[in-house]
Amino acid sequence: MSKIEKVIKRTGTIVPFKKERISNAIYRAAVSVGGRDKETADKLADIVVDALEHQIKEGEIPHIEQIQDVVEKVLIEQGHAKVAKEYILYREERNKARAAESRYASAPNENIPWAKIWHVLDWAVDKKLNRVDLLNERIEKEGFARIVHESEKAYENEIDTAVEQIVEKINTLKMVMVSGPSSSGKTTTTIKIEQRLEKYGYKFVALNVDNYFFDLELHPKDEFGDYDFETPQALDLDLINEHLEKLSNGEEVWLPYYDFKTEKRHLNRTKMQLSGNEIILIDSLHGLYPKFSENIPDEKKFRLYLEPLLQMKGENGKYIRWTDIRLIRRMLRDSVQRAYNPRQTLEHWHYVRSSELRNIIPNQSKADFIVNTSMPYELPLYAHRMKELFREWVNEFKNNPLKLDAYERAVRVSEMLETITPVSDESSIPKDSLLREFIGGSVFKY
């Protein structure tokens, strides 16, 4: 039995020590450079623990940084230089991500599309929807339905602009990639783009990226031991590239199929080949990830990035965070479509966010067009639906060091929802609205 029982986190919180977290971290780094040997990762974790036990004094509690230093040293000494390099890079990126999160609302961030933001902010100011108090005032004086109409019109204009740019490139285009972080509205936006392009005589052929998942037992895990479907390393990127290249050249391919019941992938299941007027449609978190389509020339692909770029300040003078909007959206969608408890969504959001900051958001600059999917009117709906739940979670997670991330998010969202006039009547929301993807009642099948 290891004499290391606890570890000090960066926040100063003391939590139970688990060797599995070291093994998972090593395996994730190995996967990033093409390795998928869990047995070796476990053996290396044993060496790390042994080195730590020789390093610390009896009764001493190691700090997480100390443990990570030992992991780097062991990887290098055991001849795994590539894995060590990936581990070091990931560690540095996580430090940068944590710093970016802490200064998100007050300092410049290279991952924010500033040019697009100015357009969204200008619209919000013009409509008097750039502050929570103005939103509340408009609901009281003008009614909720008018704000719904204005928000939906702005979003539809975004789709029209995206389609216009796609059509300009249509002669060389072979694929359209709709990308963005979780619950940014990819599915509804994809459907609306497809409907518009059909009017030009073109037809989309969907490529389901989920079928390129590796077998579950080969997936990397996060630091808490959960299988991570959010990372691009869960996908067979080499096979995706091979198939996209062949399809764009008019060749025939046999697509794989991933069975979520057995958690296994089966190769060569469905034949696919493009005809003259067909375009590959890819709806994926990782459509902009460089290795996803590195073999495909730019002229053959159009890349869309989606994000709810809401420009509204709360009563505290800070802008409402986009990630909080998407968190609520995913809670509602998961509970409606997947029978998944919203509380679980909150508890797992930390690794959704971690993967976004590392693999999705930094690649938005590669997009050909950015679509703003925020709907200012969604906040009053969330105040009605979710305010009580967030109050409960604030009390539930308070003083629980293992749920610190969930607690901090719950506090922030709860305080925001408390300031917004709740609206329960959803009858003015169109049945084909992007928001129906999350609250239910859509004419589209998801």
Are residues 233 and 84 both part of a single domain? no
Are residues 138 and 243 both part of a single domain? yes
Are residues 31 and 162 both part of a single domain? no
Domain span at residue 341? 114-439
Are residues 93 and 120 both part of a single domain? no
Q: Would residue 337 count as lying in a domain?
A: yes
Are residues 404 and 260 both part of a single domain? yes
Give the pLDDT of residue 108.
45
Are residues 140 and 19 both part of a single domain? no
Q: Would residue 446 count as lying in a domain?
A: no
Are residues 292 and 175 both part of a single domain? yes
Are residues 213 and 347 both part of a single domain? yes
Residues in the chain: 446
Q: Would residue 219 count as lying in a domain?
A: yes
**Final residue in a domain of this structure, among 75, 102, 129:** 102
Give the pLDDT of residue 103.
45
CATH number at residue 341: 3.40.50.300
Q: Would residue 56 count as lying in a domain?
A: yes
Are residues 404 and 430 both part of a single domain? yes
Q: Would residue 107 count as lying in a domain?
A: no
**Final residue in a domain of this structure, among 68, 102, 136:** 102
Q: Would residue 109 count as lying in a domain?
A: no
**Final residue in a domain of this structure, among 52, 70, 102:** 102
Q: How far apart are CA 278 and CA 255, in angstroms?
A: 17
Domain total for the chain? 2
Q: Would residue 346 count as lying in a domain?
A: yes
Are residues 49 and 184 both part of a single domain? no
Return per-residue pLDDT of the chain as tens, 446 residues: 567 888 888 777 787 888 888 888 888 788 777 777 788 888 888 888 888 888 888 878 888 888 888 888 888 888 887 877 777 777 776 666 556 555 444 444 567 788 899 999 999 999 999 999 999 999 999 999 999 999 999 999 999 999 999 999 988 999 999 999 999 999 999 999 999 998 888 888 999 999 999 998 887 776 556 677 778 888 999 999 999 999 999 999 999 999 989 999 999 999 999 988 899 999 999 999 988 999 899 999 999 999 999 999 999 999 999 999 999 999 999 887 666 789 999 998 987 888 888 889 989 989 999 999 999 999 999 999 999 999 999 999 998 888 989 999 999 999 999 999 999 999 999 999 999 999 999 999 88
Are residues 143 and 91 both part of a single domain? no
Q: Would residue 43 count as lying in a domain?
A: yes
Give the pLDDT of residue 107.
42
Are residues 323 and 375 both part of a single domain? yes
